[in-house]
Chains A and B, each alone.
Chain A
């Protein structure tokens, strides 16, 4: 618009003053206008774009969006490309999960080249969401008009609950290993506890030979030691669907606390298992990052995915489990109970908008 106004002024000035250099300047302005339309149009004609699958999205934490942009043109490079995420067709901006419109820029794309570029997106709500269209636009060369081409790249994604860094002193007490007698020494290993004895086999270390027993039994016997028992965190979610429906914010807080504990357990190499009996969720003990990411996804999809509600009374929390409940009352003994409100007490940092934490 500004360009058009300036051009109109130059036209008026040139006609009024009959100044030939102004006529030439007018020509330059018109030339710029035409060249701008031509260049921006031509540079976008050969653009193709693909969005790479979104790896992870955590609520309130920027996640990476990667694109492969190809310039199919044989001659024309593309400059100053702005790549924007738009809501899927039929979805209004207000209903879209993403904050704003994620944007990436690409300074230059040579002819017949493919490059990768990335930006970050942010969702502020846990749960599934959709990435919709991607618009590639440019105002190059003179910013006269924005030309764009839009790609319809519908892609479902899932945002896991918000993860907070928790106070280390509190976390240490929560994550302390619990001994309820049920943790039997299960297998021999390289720990320090005595496990048993057996006959010597080829390959056993000489230092493990129990000479006294061997002398008594007239057979070479070695001492076995127990395997080290991993530290373990059992998260027990007690989310009565009837109560949960009325306490949406508290449910989110509770899920966020669960996700934060999973993240803290991951930092300390503690195995985590999750149980939400009301939703039919019971997982094994996860020791790897992939396993923990699965737990977070389970939390992310909580309430959105189809769940199998068990018949009858749901099982009680195990002894030593961390029970996260809306009511603050656990239906089992020997457990530590937290509610969503406890998150504020446990959190290490004050609330900060838009700041994501490492999980």
Chain B
């Protein structure tokens, strides 16, 4: 195949892959269905004879129209829209595939492909996009290398054409193809290593959004809502779309996750009820405080470090937008983010609402185990003993009183001890366990909680159970609130993390057992909870879990890499503004120490550097010899597989001929070459045997190899004595 043929292939593969990457990122079947066949058709048409007669002016006019249309559509949105621009780029790419006549056109096609991939990256960061981008890189490198060689040839050809000389195009030999493939591999690896270093070292969080927002629209976290509206869909979602990944460890990094271990990730705390809706009570404005991360990107809610800590590393699948709730296990006392952010803190609920558009998607939360955050306060010394919680429904109160009295529990609205509260909550939970769980959306006549507790109701989903329990507790003076969020139940052994999906959205109850000490209660029947939330255990789901683990790795290490991750990777001091500055400081410190230690220290440092350099050279030399021995690089002539582990006779023969002044030209077959040297008969016999070993399936034995070597040595000595001067090169 000629180099031009290779370039044509490289172009179509690069273009098709770029279109596919963008189609996957934008989840646009239309782009894939239209773009891929069109690109292939234009590519095919471009090297038909009639294509050359299409005026270039016409093609350029079509390109201009496409650019105009694309920019016009993009401007209709009123802001810079990546998707519109990317679609325009895809159209330009398809047209340019038809209009590729020179290496410069090929370079434009490659550039458009790269821009389209950038568009895909700005649109989505999902794993499939990342994997395809990784595949795209070596393909792009290969295409660029071939393009460079072709461009050089075309420049020379253009000159020849200008002066009226004729130049024939040469086929790209195996050496060229093999060399370009190796170069592609080497450059891809080298560039990837540098890219990884840049990826890790480039400071994050510096002046984000200074050019405005032009990425894909941010997706809100779905499945979860920060209010409960009974009788509507609310948290009910059967979507398997992943929302976040959670890794739970203790303070020492020990894994606290495991199959069957459930973590409740709180999102919103709701304590105000009206017309079937649970919302956050906003009457007391002092309960909500604007807060922002400190210089260490932390948000510290409590200076008391609990005795037992749950560390949660949360990686959201989509960047959170303004108004998003930040999820955490109960009693969070410290948050760490990857960038400076502003929040609204609900002091009583202990929840955080984001007041920014975040760029990073991961954060770490430290929560204390219940009862470990500060000393317990006496329930008799409540701050406001005169006010007991209530619920504005007489029916609910009557039902609760009836229930408690039937179990011999005092049903008066009085201040209770934790033990009494335990008894009340257990009684209510046990009562609700007899209700039926259903995911059907039930629309009640009148108040939904009253309907749920009535004989006609007694069925509903988690919101009903949580709302009913909260209402019943409050009706008898026990402080309770509805909490919405996610339950982490799907533990992945491969990645030691939980995958949380939209279908894991849930509502539960927190009851105040002592002043300021809230405990989680889930009134949803456990069997139904498992039915709804338990992970699938089929074979397919096991495979999916491996994929999830991979996806988690992708999200955790690539997508959500931020300043916090940088610190962890680079090991910078906590109080340093930037780890890179710390690295520079350490280099400066090293140089200072060398300077202070005088010329002896400097000499030692130089010597160490030289030794390291020499060491690297030796390793490279040994590696090269090893690869040459394996026949991977720099072997001329036939490769011979020799039994007995002796040296390669073919190479030895070439060296002997080389020394005797008869180097083999690259283009000449070995047999033809030895026929042209003196003593051709002896050498021809040796080469014939080597050919038989190489191509005839009759490998050399060790003895035969030795014999051949001896023959070659003797013939070489005779040849050398006849040849006055051994000169020249291959």
Contact = CB atoms under 8 A, between A and B. Distances in A.
B32 interface: no
A22 B159 contact: no
Contacts of B207: 15-16
Interface string A69-101: 010000101011110000000000000000111
Nearest to B157: A105
A122 B163 contact: yes
A22 B194 contact: no
A12 B211 contact: yes
Contacts of B204: 18, 23
Contact of A6 (B111, B133, B193): B111
Interface in A128-149: 138-143
B607 interface: no
A24 B148 contact: no
Contacts of A103: 155-156, 159-160
B182 to A, nearest CB: 9
A39 to B, nearest CB: 7
A34 B118 CA distance: 21
Interface residues of A, number: 62
A21 B194 CA distance: 14
A77 B187 CA distance: 14
A222 to B, nearest CB: 49
Contacts of B159: 100-103, 119
A105 B155 contact: yes
Contacts of B179: 77, 79, 108, 110
A14 B179 CA distance: 34
B152 A138 contact: yes
B217 to A, nearest CB: 13
B155 to A, nearest CB: 6
B148 A111 contact: no
Contact of B125 (A19, A101, A121, A139): A19
A15 B162 contact: no
B205 A25 contact: no
Interface string B168-200: 001010011001100100010011111111110
A211 B34 CA distance: 100
B125 A28 contact: no
Contact of A107 (B153, B208, B730): B153
Contact of B152 (A2, A21, A24, A80): A80
A357 to B, nearest CB: 11
B326 to A, nearest CB: 18
B163 A16 contact: no
A287 to B, nearest CB: 30
B209 interface: yes
Contacts of A19: 121-122, 125, 215, 359
Given A12-B211, A113-B729, A23 B198 contact: yes
Contact of A17 (B155, B165, B180, B208): B208
A82 B158 CA distance: 13
Nearest to A21: B121
A28 B114 CA distance: 12
B368 to A, nearest CB: 31
A177 interface: no
A272 B241 CA distance: 93
A104 interface: yes
A13 B209 CA distance: 9
B729 A112 contact: yes
Contact of B176 (A39, A108, A140, A142): A108
Contacts of A115: 666
Contact of B208 (A18, A28, A35): A18
B163 A100 contact: yes
B585 to A, nearest CB: 23
B164 A27 contact: no
B145 A107 contact: no
Contacts, number: 202
Contact of A105 (B156, B206, B560): B156
A354 interface: yes
A101 to B, nearest CB: 7
Contact of B175 (A6, A16, A101, A110): A110
Interface in A8-51: 10, 12-28, 30-32, 34-35, 39
A140 B148 contact: yes
Nearest to B203: A15
A193 to B, nearest CB: 47
Contact of A27 (B198, B212, B730): B198
Nearest to B177: A108
B172 A107 contact: yes
B724 interface: no
B666 A28 contact: no
B172 to A, nearest CB: 7
Main secondary structure of the interface of B (DSSP, over half): helix
Given A23-B199, A24-B199, A26-B202, A113 B163 contact: no
Q: Please indicate which of the listed interface residues A62, A80, A81, A111 has the most CB atoms of chain B within 10 Å of its own CB.
A: A80
Contact of A18 (B3, B149, B360): B360
B153 A105 contact: yes
B666 A141 contact: no
B547 interface: no
A148 B526 CA distance: 75
Given A23-B202, A107-B153, A143-B144, A18 B729 contact: no
Nearest to B3: A107
A114 interface: yes
Interface string B85-112: 0000000000000000000000100010
B152 A25 contact: no
B125 A107 contact: no
A108 B171 CA distance: 12
Contacts of B408: none
A34 B194 contact: yes
A111 B634 contact: yes
A344 interface: no
B149 A80 contact: yes
Q: Please indicate which of the listed interface residues B144, B193, B198, B339 has the most CB atoms of chain A within 10 Å of its own CB.
A: B198
A243 interface: no
B163 A120 contact: yes
B190 A62 contact: no
Contacts of A120: 160, 163, 165, 167
A70 B215 CA distance: 51
A356 interface: yes
B183 A30 contact: no
A31 B144 contact: no
Contact of B156 (A27, A28, A104): A104
A82 B125 contact: no
A62 B162 contact: no
B137 interface: yes
B210 interface: yes
B297 interface: no
A139 B183 CA distance: 14
A108 B550 CA distance: 40
Contacts of B114: 6
Contact of A113 (B215, B339, B561, B666): B666
A17 B122 contact: yes
B122 A2 contact: no
B339 A18 contact: yes
A355 interface: yes
Nearest to B558: A20
18 contacts: A16-B212, A17-B214, A17-B215, A22-B118, A22-B121, A25-B121, A26-B195, A27-B194, A27-B202, A28-B137, A30-B195, A31-B194, A35-B190, A35-B191, A70-B729, A100-B159, A105-B152, A122-B165
Closest 5 CB pairs of A and B: A27-B195, A27-B198, A18-B359, A31-B194, A31-B191
Given A16-B211, A79-B180, 7 more contacts: A18-B359, A18-B562, A35-B194, A79-B145, A80-B151, A103-B159, A143-B144
Interface of B: 3, 107, 111, 114, 118, 121-122, 125, 129-130, 133, 137, 141, 144-145, 147-149, 151-153, 155-157, 159-160, 162-165, 167, 170, 172, 175-176, 179-180, 183, 187, 190-199, 202, 204-212, 214-215, 339, 359-360, 558-562, 624, 634, 666, 729-730
